[in-house]
Structure 1
Amino acid sequence: MTITSTQPCVAALWDAVDARIAGGGRFAGLFAAPARAADTEPGGGVTLSAHVAVPGGIDTLQTTLPPGAAGYPALTPRQPAAFWYERVIHDQTGIVPEGHSRLAPLVGPGDPDDHTLPRHVAGYGVFTIPHGPVRSGVLESMEYLVETPGEAIPHLNMRIFYKHRGIAARFTGMSVADAVLLAERAEGIASVAHALAFCHAVEAIAGCQVPREAGLVRVAHAELERIANHLDVAMRLADAAGLAVATTRFALHKERVLRLVSALCGSRFGRGVVVPGGVSAWPDPSPVLPDLARLEKQVKTDADAVMATSSFLDRIRGTGPLDAGRAREHGALGPIGKASGYADDDRLARPYDAYPLLAVPPAGQHVAGDALARLRVRWEEVDQAFRLIWQALSDFPERSGPSPHVPCPAVDGRATGWAEAPQGEVLYDLTIEDGRIARCQPRSASFHDLVLMHQVFAGDILTDFPFIEASFGLSVAGAAM
């Protein structure tokens, strides 16, 4: 999608954003970049781009700050979902969102003074637990600052910059073919979704229409990725509850899914499949389908068993609830939003590839917003994903010869691409100039939703910590790109 609206000033931009959200849109992102891709000198103009998800697409609205501008009126007081986005803008440009409640570094490490432990809770016996950035097991490096009088968690802060890799800056100057490889590695748990969102942007600029068969292959890989991610969440929740058998079973099922993906394309993460204009090769689903049928039956059996285990349900029922109003105000994505009664699934609201040809069911009705509701959403999506994979791969025509894609040259222009990752919507705001990437701003569902951890921990207790974190199912690396 090209630029929907260019506003003369920041106030007019925020008014336009507010109007679209009031009309039923969802705040989807806010980014800053040099007004011209070639601008590298400090003090040059900066363009603010806001994204609003609407039925059928993503609206992109922008305005340009004057050269040398040191600040602008913050959007966060009007749209709280912009809280982390404006912290990133401050980290990257030094421009101050005036009126923002907290501009501590988020993706930049900042100065030593910025590392002073903040205090938001006062009272007798209150202390701060710095949990991380290095933690037990294989969890990603991030730091939780837990303010507590001993057991309850009245306040929590997060530092995610330990995983910041400068992915957005790395895209600049790359060829489109190389940039697909980088997109696949921006967030390892959602390799297919990131490749899809990036390629959708390229295809929108070039005006390419992906062949039907290629769209089916894309759907199959995207849904296999969804199953693997949701099994990983179930495994981590079972592990937090001390259910050794369930933990092992879900880990086994996830491994089987990854092996099915590898059998289809040669990569356990589905990398190398999605290319601009289609997919890189024809898959042979015939040896995969029998294993898929057995796996579906076994996953359902074990899911039913763990959901009938009272000791497990007692640990996740009522744990880390996200209020339905807050979920809607923030535009919570993926299972986190659906568990709190707010569902905006790109496969339904902004369908792409072969999803319009398939029967994607709407999300079930959930309002509890707790860890249990989030797991129930994931089991529903696993069931749906198996059905979608069967629809995509059953009776798939035997093919030989060239791979199913159409020419998709690197045409100059700008567009936003999107895809529904297992965690929720992934966005890529892409600009191509002279056949190469001039700017690319990826936004994962992990970044958009991770900030909600502030809300769900408040009022909970320390022993619920691993259940809440696991139930979110997000990636710190994806949040700190």
Structure 2
Amino acid sequence: MTPSHHPTAPALLEPADWRQQVLTRVSGESAARFAGVFGSGEENGGVRLAAILFPPETEDPLILQALLRPGALAYPSLSTELPAALWYERVLHDLFGITPTGHPRLDPLLLPPQDSEHAPLPGTGRRPRPFDPDESALPQVLTGPGVFTITHGPVRSGVTESVEYLVETPGESIPRIQIRVFHKHRGVSKRFEQLTPQDGTLVAERVEGIACVAHALAFCHAVERCAGLAVPWAACLVRVLYAELERIANHLDGMIKLTDAAGLAVATARFALHKERILRLTGHLCGSRFARSTVVPGGVTSLPALAPPVLNHELAQLHQAIMNDWRAAMDTPSFLDRLRGTGHLVPDLARAHGALGPIGKASGCASDARYERPYDAYTALGLGPLPNHAEGDAMARTHVRGTEIGHSFRLLTQTIDELSNLHEDEPLRVPVPEDLTGETAGWAEAPQGEVLYLLRFDQGRVTRCAPRSASFHNLVLFHEVFATDILTDFPFIEASFGLSIAGVAI
């Protein structure tokens, strides 16, 4: 990213005006895409609200801010007219004690119920008190003859993340699901406070472990936008290299879970082998299977350890083996029967919500930051056509991931060719000012979709960091896709979503 000027702080609006401006901007033919609403505590007890929108006519985000004064932590809810804000406002209630009046379902999401004076208030020096998890049963809402509830999680079989699903069912169909994610909440947004940009990157890599590179990129892009830095071309290439390797590994992981749910033992083993080979290759290139400590503010730490010809050879073999097994799986009738029509996300709902990543692309909502707001070497590389389907089921989401794997290998070939043409003395990073001050947003396209960071700095230290993963933005749609499905479809729908609960419960 090469901004031409330092970002300026947006003007603060009155809450009612702020709400109206947000709703006006996201409606109409040239509507902006709603990317989230975040809070930041003020030392006097007030809270600043920031809504991030992406207008179609510009790459830069529009940040609309409002100030809630001490003793008046309430505003008319956005969710009544903008359902995509539903979970964002629940988080505001948990972390800041804010009441979005009229909100349709303001029960806790990240934290158990507590009084507002003990809210952690990210952005202030307040240290949150220890709290006990809310282990009370979620209330059943659905009633009728034969209706009962199945509590699925938080402890589940296999190596899966902690999440609690409350399935309300009359026996086979799934008319309603509730989700509780607080088991994975770690207070990460508070952990960023008072860190340097360098140390903040280390925390960002651990926000959502399956997307270390994407989170590090989004954080560093925000730093670089705030400082007005131009990242060296060599670093831009290296960043793309690790981002696309991460994408391939994640999409293979999704196929592992899908084939395992279908009982295809050989296919599961084959895709697990391919994923392991990708991770080992990444480890050979930089010393970390997840490419940690490679992306840093201002650039990268090193070039890949393997020579371009060797790396190209390794990737060519991997590409052929992966696509051969992918085609074999997608030619297996018993596997396709479990995907076709399963977990259907209506395209109109996906567009209204601004669904991200493969979930959005499979439902006609083809949003991708690499295309819309390109960064690093994506500005010059040939991305290929954007995957876009309209079926909206698990099959379409799997097709999107297969297409993206092919695109990733082609991007890797281009990147390696560019790396082979670099001069030996090419710089890999530029320094970040020690007195960095300002506020801005940064983004990157993770395998799950757009990762977004809202950052504020004061004299070289992070004073507020609000990370938002695609997993958080998309998981609320999980409620919406069970209209024609039954209990045995559950693992296929969950695997086809491909989300991280750690990325939700930040």
TM-score by length of 2: 0.91
Counterpart among 383, 407, 410 of residue 431 in structure 2: 407
Q: Which amino acid aligns with 1:168?
A: S
Specify the code of the residue in structure 1 equivalent to 2:349: R
Q: Tell me, yes or no, if structure 1 residue 323 matches structure 2 residue 326.
A: no
1:96 is the counterpart of 2:99: yes
1:10 counterpart = 2:33 = no
1:438 is matched with which residue: 463, 467, 481?
Answer: 463
- 2:8–2:438 Cα contact (<8 Å) kept: no
2:360 alignment partner AA: G
Is it true that 1:247 corresponds to 2:268 in the alignment? yes
Query: For the Cα contact (< 8 Å) 1:3–1:61, is it kept in 2?
Result: no
2:117 aligned partner: none
CA contact (8 A) 1:285 1:393 kept: no
Displacement of 1:399: 5.7
| Separation (CA, whole Å) in 2 of partners of 1:405 and 1:172 | 24
Contact 1:186 1:194 survives alignment (8 Å): yes
**Hey, what does 2:123 align to over in structure 1?**
none
Of 290-299 and 104-113, the range deviating more from structure 2: 104-113
Unmatched tracts of structure 1, length 5 or more: none
Aligned to 2:489: 464
> Cα 1:365–1:178, aligned 2, differ >3 Å: closer, same or farther?
closer
Q: Is 1:269 aligned with 2:270?
A: no
- Find 2:367's aligned residue among 330, 336, 344: 344
Note the alpha carbon deviations across 1:375-413, whole angstroms, 9 max, x for none.
000000000000001101125236656851112224111
**1:109: how far off?**
2.5
Cα 1:113–1:378 shift into 2, 3 Å: closer
Separation in 2, partners of 1:459, 1:400: 59
Which whole-Å CA distance do the structure 2 matches of 1:99 and 1:211 have between them? 49
The Cα shift of 1:285 comes to 3.9
Q: Is residue 2–residue 414 contact of structure 1 (8 Å, CA) maintained in 2? A: yes
Which residue is 1:300 aligned to? Answer: 323
Distance 1:242 1:47, change over 3 A: same
CA distances 1:324-373 after superposition (whole Å, capped 9, x unpaired):
00000100000000000001100010010010100112323310100000
- One-letter amino acid matched to 1:311: S
The amino acid across from 2:320 in the alignment is K
Per the TM alignment, residue 121 of structure 1 is displaced from its structure 2 partner at its CA by: 1.3
The superposition leaves residues 423-459 of structure 1 with CA deviations (integer Å, 9 ceiling, x where unpaired) of 0000110011121111100000000001110001244
Distance 1:333 1:79 in 2: 16
**How many Å apart are 1:177 and its aligned residue?**
1.1
Once the two structures are TM-superposed, the CA of residue 67 in structure 1 deviates from its matched residue by 1.7
Deviation at 1:34, TM superposition (A): 1.5
Q: Deviations over 1:4-54 (max 9, x none)?
A: 75353122112222222222311101111123xxx1x6xx21111001123
CA contact 2:286–2:294 (8 Å) conserved in 1: yes
Greater CA deviation, 53-62 or 121-130?
A: 53-62
Unaligned runs of 5+ in 2: 1-5, 115-132
Q: Distance in 2 between matches of 1:343 and 1:107?
A: 29
Question: Normalising by the residue count of structure 1, what TM-score does the alignment of the two structures yield?
Answer: 0.96
Shift of 1:80: 0.3
For residues 4 and 408 of structure 1, the distance between their equivalents in structure 2, rounded to whole angstroms, comes to 20
Q: Does the C-alpha gap of structure 1 residues 254 and 159 become closer, same or farther in structure 2, counting only changes over 3 Å? A: same
Q: Distance in 2 between matches of 1:431 and 1:382?
A: 35
Q: CA RMSD in A?
A: 1.6
2:476 corresponds to: 451
Supply the distance in 2 between the matched residues of 1:170 and 1:285 (Cα, whole angstroms): 35
Q: 2:109 aligns with which of 101, 106, 111?
A: 106
Distance in 1 of aligned mates of 2:169 and 2:365:
31
8 A contact 1:340–1:369 mirrored in 2: yes
**Partners of 1:74 and 1:99 within 8 A in 2:** yes
Q: Distance in 2 between matches of 1:153 and 1:4?
A: 46
CA distance in 2, matches of 1:251, 1:204: 38
The DSSP-based 3-state class of the residue aligned with 1:451 is helix
What CA distance in whole angstroms lies between the structure 1 residues aligned with 2:96 and 2:221?
28
1:357 aligned to 2:399? no
Matched, 1:366 2:393: no
2:242 is equivalent to residue 221 of structure 1: yes
2:212 equivalent in structure 1: 191
- Structure 2 residue matching 1:452: 3-state secondary structure: helix
Tell me which amino acid in the other structure corresponds to 1:338. K
Name which of 37, 40, 65 aligns with 1:30.
37
Answer yes or no: is the 8 Å Cα contact 2:388–2:400 preserved in 1.
Answer: no
Aligned counterpart for 2:84 among listed residues 77, 81, 100: 81
CA distance in 1, matches of 2:8, 2:21: 13
Q: What residue identity is the alignment partner of 1:150?
A: G
> Residue 335 of structure 1 corresponds to which residue in structure 2?
358
User: 1:480 & 1:321 partners in 2: Cα distance?
Assistant: 25
- Aligned equivalents of 1:10 and 1:116: distance in 2? 35
- Deviation of the 1:130 alpha carbon: 0.9
Describe the SS at the equivalent of 1:460.
coil
Q: Give the residue type in structure 2 aligned to 1:248.
A: A
Match of 2:453 among 425, 428, 432: 428
**Residue range with higher mean Cα deviation, 285-294 or 135-144:** 285-294
Change (3 A) 1:362 1:10: farther
Distance 1:459 1:197 in 2: 37
Alpha-carbon distance change, 257 to 336 in structure 1, aligned in 2, over 3 angstroms: same
1:183–1:198 contact (8 Å) kept in structure 2: yes
**SS at structure 2 position matched to 1:282:** coil
Q: CA deviation at 1:153?
A: 0.4
Q: Deviations over 1:137-189 (max 9, x none)?
A: 01000100000011100000000000000000100011111111000011000
The offset of 1:70, in angstroms, is: 3.6
Q: Provide the residue aligned with 1:211 in structure 2.
A: 232
Secondary structure in 1 matching 2:54 = strand
SS of the residue corresponding to residue 396 of structure 1 reads helix
Q: Deviations over 1:255-281 (max 9, x none)?
A: 011011111111000111111111111
Aligned counterparts of 1:331 and 1:155: Cα–Cα separation in 2: 22
Alpha carbons 1:426, 1:445 under 8 Å: kept: yes
2-structure distance, mates of 1:348, 1:436? 31
Tell which deviates more after alignment, 60-69 or 401-410.
Answer: 401-410
**Residue number among 405, 409, 415 corresponding to 1:386 in the alignment:** 409
303-312 or 105-114: bigger deviation: 105-114
CA deviation digits over 1:82-114, x for unaligned, max 9? 000000000111121100011111000337888
